[in-house]
Amino acid sequence: MTQQAQVPPFAVIPGAQVHRVLSGHERRTTELVEATYRVHGEGDTVNPPSYFLRFPDRPASRIIALPASLGGATRVDGLKWISSFPQNVAAGIPRASAVLILNDHDTGYPIACLESSIISAARTAASAALAADWLSRGRTRPRRVGFFGTGLIARHILTYLLGTGWEFDEVGVHDVSAEYAAGFRACATASASGAPVTVYDRAEDLVRASDLVVFATTAAAPHVSDAGWFAHRPVVLNVSLRDLAPEVLLASANVLDDVEHCLKADTSPHLTERLTGGRDFIDGTLHEVMTGQVEIPADRPVVFSPFGLGVLDLAVGKFVYDQVRAAGELAVVEGFFHEVDRYGPLPG
């Protein structure tokens, strides 16, 4: 007896389809990410540690596996497989590339492979926009945003801030590459609703001029250590995780997306834990802020450090999959699973 009807079809969703589904729907994606944080905070997820594949002959590069399982209304399992090869930038191609595998909740069969650099950037940007909103409540809402680092993630974060209703009096830019800073300035000028875009030659000047600071670099170790730069108490999105020295975190309120995930791999919070021997510098998680369990003090800078959760990729990826399928545009690979009978084909 054949089991063909019980085996779900397998589909491939390229980046063009992912882009069509997500582009222009920043608010919807951010709401999806918020709902996923709530499911995770309620314990209805499995999100084991990420696995880092490193290479002795290419020490600057890595490929990371993020397995995860998401419950709630989504109910999907899967794996993000994302590479970071910084040398790509010099060759004129993006640093990161990724795929996302979705597995059927009931059978475990893979149901789709999605191009995932866009999904990864979207969920990262949505998480940043969500944190900026929640961590600004109870204080003056930021009107000057500064971007330290000007790559794909920075561009997506600006898009998601604007797409979720933020308005700015100024957009600041700083990058170690004048060429990259100029390119981001042109992009921001075209999209920031008339707000002036200023390129800052000095990192300190960017930070001091911004009440919402976004770190989105490829730095492997802290290079910002003067807590005095943050004396004006900005909201800081520590997206790249390794720019800030422990001195900055110890002078700030600290919110993480997931404590155990953030305290590893030499992130800024991890280095701060090592230095202090404890976790007292952590105020709580974003979920605890959203549910009222943690109140953010207004007399200090507040730093959001998101390690990035695989369940967010699953949520956004499953949304893309459902939208493509509903539109009748799912590119199914016929016969992808060859053996679908437990005992094999009957003879004759």
| pLDDT for residue 193 is more than 90 | no
pLDDT at 119: 97
Is residue 273 included in any domain, yes or no? yes
Query: Are 95 and 141 part of one and the same domain?
Result: no
Query: Are 295 and 279 part of one and the same domain?
Result: yes
Is residue 343 included in any domain, yes or no? no
Chain Cα centroid distance, residue 141:
22
Q: What is the residue whose two structure tokens read 């992808």?
A: 336
| pLDDT for residue 339 is more than 80 | no
pLDDT at 214: 98
Is residue 63 included in any domain, yes or no? yes
Q: Which amino acid is at 264?
A: K
Query: Are 111 and 244 part of one and the same domain?
Result: no
CB 325 within 8 Å of CB 276: no
Provide the sign of the torsion angle of the four alpha carbons 67, 69, 256, 172, taken in this order: positive
Query: Are 278 and 173 part of one and the same domain?
Result: yes
Backbone angles phi, psi at 312, to 5 degrees: -70, -40
Query: Are 255 and 154 part of one and the same domain?
Result: yes
**Taking CA 253 as the corner, what is the angle to CA 252 and CA 256, rounded to the nearest 5 degrees?**
120
d(CA 250, CA 237): 15
Closest by CA to 324, choosing from 12, 6, 9, is 12
Burial of 247 (0-12, 13-18, 19+ CB in 10 A): middle
* Whole-number CA gyration radius for the chain: 21
- As a whole-number percent, the residues of the chain with pLDDT over 90 amount to 87
| pLDDT for residue 72 is more than 70 | yes
* Contacts for 209 with CB less than 8 Å, ≥ 6 apart: 144, 146, 170, 172, 198, 200
pLDDT at 5: 52
What digits encode the pLDDT tens for the residues 275-322?
A: 999 999 999 999 999 999 999 999 999 999 999 999 999 999 999 999
Query: Are 281 and 202 part of one and the same domain?
Result: yes
- 113, two tokens: 């492979």
Burial of 224 (0-12, 13-18, 19+ CB in 10 A): buried
The number of distinct structural domains making up the chain is: 2
Is residue 157 included in any domain, yes or no? yes
* Contacts for 28 with CB less than 8 Å, ≥ 6 apart: none
What digits encode the pLDDT tens for the residues 202-255?
A: 999 999 999 999 999 989 899 999 999 999 999 999 999 999 999 999 999 999
Query: Are 107 and 68 part of one and the same domain?
Result: yes
d(CA 52, CA 69): 19
Is residue 331 included in any domain, yes or no? no
Give the domain range for residue 93: 4-119+310-326
Is residue 340 included in any domain, yes or no? no
- What's the CATH code of the domain at 136? 3.40.50.720
Q: What is the residue whose two structure tokens read 């940007």?
A: 125
What digits encode the pLDDT tens for the residues 128-171?
A: 999 999 999 989 999 999 999 998 899 999 999 999 999 999 99
Tell me the pLDDT band of 111, cut-offs 50, 70 and 90: very high
| pLDDT for residue 3 is more than 60 | no
Mean pLDDT of the chain: 94
Query: Are 143 and 217 part of one and the same domain?
Result: yes
Query: Are 134 and 279 part of one and the same domain?
Result: yes
Is residue 335 included in any domain, yes or no? no
In which element (H, E) is residue 310 found? helix 310-326
- Give the residue-averaged pLDDT of 108-129: 97
Query: Are 212 and 106 part of one and the same domain?
Result: no
Backbone angles phi, psi at 274, to 5 degrees: -60, -45
- 265, two tokens: 């791999």
Q: What is the largest CA-CA distance in the chain?
A: 80
pLDDT at 6: 84
Query: Are 220 and 272 part of one and the same domain?
Result: yes
Helix then strand then coil, in percent of the chain rounded to 5, is 35, 20, 40
| pLDDT for residue 1 is more than 50 | no
Tell me the pLDDT band of 338, cut-offs 50, 70 and 90: confident
* Contacts for 21 with CB less than 8 Å, ≥ 6 apart: 319, 320, 323, 324
Query: Are 158 and 291 part of one and the same domain?
Result: yes
pLDDT at 268: 98
- What's the CATH code of the domain at 100? 3.30.1780.10
Is residue 201 included in any domain, yes or no? yes
pLDDT at 341: 72
